[in-house]
């Protein structure tokens, strides 16, 4: 099962302080609005820093994107991934509308309560 590009989305209390910290670890700004969120990269490693957007950290997968947020020529649609996971008995706390096409997302929780967001932008 190919879930797409992986990143960690961190809920931060102070965006500038968090950004500065991760820059010391070699991450560089890649995207964001600098007010509510900043996406940082270190090689193929991606961290999203989000202020006031959610309460907990999230593991994020982006079907259809590579690690540079560039569209892949081929990928498994988020709705197909959702069907496969549901068939395997994975409980979803938010589901993508399977009657649609294009951008959509779903959310699962691991046994420890960590959120897993599968978020397709294409």
Domain map (residue ranges) of the chain: 5-117
Is-contact 4 120, C-beta < 8 A? yes
96 strand-pairing partners:
none
- CATH superfamily membership of 5-117: 2,3-Dihydroxybiphenyl 1,2-Dioxygenase, domain 1 (3.10.180.10)
Q: pTM here?
A: 0.91
pLDDT, one tens digit per residue, over 47-79 is: 999 999 999 999 999 999 998 999 999 999 999
Output the DSSP codes for 40-87.
Answer: EEETTEEEEEEESS-SS-EEEEETTB-TTSPBPSS---HHHHHHHHHH
Low-confidence stretches of the chain (pLDDT beneath 50): none
């Amino acid at each position: 099962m190919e879930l797409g590009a992986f990143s960690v989305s961190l809920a931060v209390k102070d965006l500038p302080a968090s950004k500065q910290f991760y820059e010391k670890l070699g991450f560089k700004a890649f995207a964001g609005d600098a007010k509510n969120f900043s996406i940082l990269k270190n090689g193929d490693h991606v961290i999203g820093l989000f202020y006031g957007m959610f309460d907990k950290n999230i593991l994020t997968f982006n079907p259809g994107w590579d690690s540079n947020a560039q569209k892949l020529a081929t990928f498994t649609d988020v709705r197909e991934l959702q069907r496969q996971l549901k068939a395997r008995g994975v409980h979803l706390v938010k589901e993508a509308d399977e009657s649609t096409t294009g951008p959509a997302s779903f959310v699962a929780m691991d046994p420890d309560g960590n959120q897993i967001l599968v978020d397709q932008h294409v």
